[in-house]
Amino acid sequence: MTKIPLNLQTASGHQVLAAAGKKYLRPGGRIATDKLLMWANLQPGETVLELASSFGYSAIALAQRYHVKVIGIEKNHESVIHARANIHAAGLDNQIEIIEGDIFHLEQIPIKFDYVLAEAILTMQSPQGKAKLLAAIHHHLKPGEKFLSHELLASNKEAEIRKELAQVIRVNSTPLSETSWIQAFATAGLQVQQHHTGSMNLLNWQRMLQEEGIVNTIKILWNILTQPLIRQRVLEMRHVFHKYHQELGYILISAVAQ
C-alpha cells in the first residue's frame, strides 16, 4: 500500500508533532494523564472507549498497565493501520480493537462502557460540536460510570487565543475556561467529580526529556532542526504557547454519567 505523504503546511499541529516523533501530544503531558487515570481507579476486565486513538500508544499503555479492554475509534486511515500494527506487535490483539470511524458517529459502536477517555479532542470542536460529542459520550457510558477528559484551558483572552491557535495548529481550536468546561459537562448530564488545572507542557523541553526519554527527545530535536517545514510549524506553535503562557494551560476532568 502506498503511503500518502503528510502535507506539513496544512496538517494539524498534533500531526506535525507526531511527524517530528513526539508520542505524548496532550497539553499537560503524560504526568497529567497519569493523574487522570489514577482518579479513575481502573480495574482489570473493565472496558474503555478511547476517542481519536491515533497510533494506539494510549490504548496500549492502558491495556498493559491496567489490564482493561479498549475499543478505540480513529478517523485517519493511515493512523488506524499504524495503530493496529503497534497493537499486534505488543501482543494485545485480544485486548484492544481499533475501529476506523468518526467520533461524531459513535452509533457504529452499539455497546456501553465503564469509561470513555478523550484527550485534547473536545478542545478542537466548536461549541455545537462539543455539545454533540458530550451527549454521545454520555450515551455510551453505563449509568454511574466515568468520562475522563484532558483538555486545553484558556483562563483568559479566549477569543484572542482561539484566533491565534487556529492559525498555527490549523484547527479551529476552542479552549474554554474552567467554569465553562464544567458547565458544558453538566449540560450533557455529566457531573464533574474531580478536576485539576495546570500549565501547558506540550513543548516544554525539560518535560519532553522526562516523558519521551533521551533517545526520542534527540530524535524529535533532530527532525525539527533538519526538516524546515516541521521546524517552522513547531516554532509557530511554540511562539503562541509562550505568548499566552499565563492564560494557556490544561484541565483534567473526571465526570460521572447521571
All three cell numbers of 32, joined, read: 497529567
d(CA 3, CA 171) in angstroms, rounded, equals 23
Task: Tell me which residue has cell 484558556.
Answer: 154
Which residues, at least 6 apart from 2, have a Cβ–Cβ distance to it below 8 Å? none
Cα Rg for the chain, rounded, in angstroms?
18
Mean pLDDT of the chain: 93
Task: Tell me which residue has cell 493496529.
Answer: 84
Q: What single-letter amino acid sits at 28?
A: G
Q: What is the pLDDT of residue 171?
A: 87
Residues in the chain, pLDDT under 70: 1-4
pTM of the model: 0.91
DSSP class of 124: G
Q: What is the pLDDT of residue 2?
A: 36
Q: How many CB atoms are located within 10 Å of the residue 211 CB?
A: 20
> Closest by alpha carbon to 192, among 115, 256, 119, 236?
256
Q: What is the pLDDT of residue 15?
A: 86
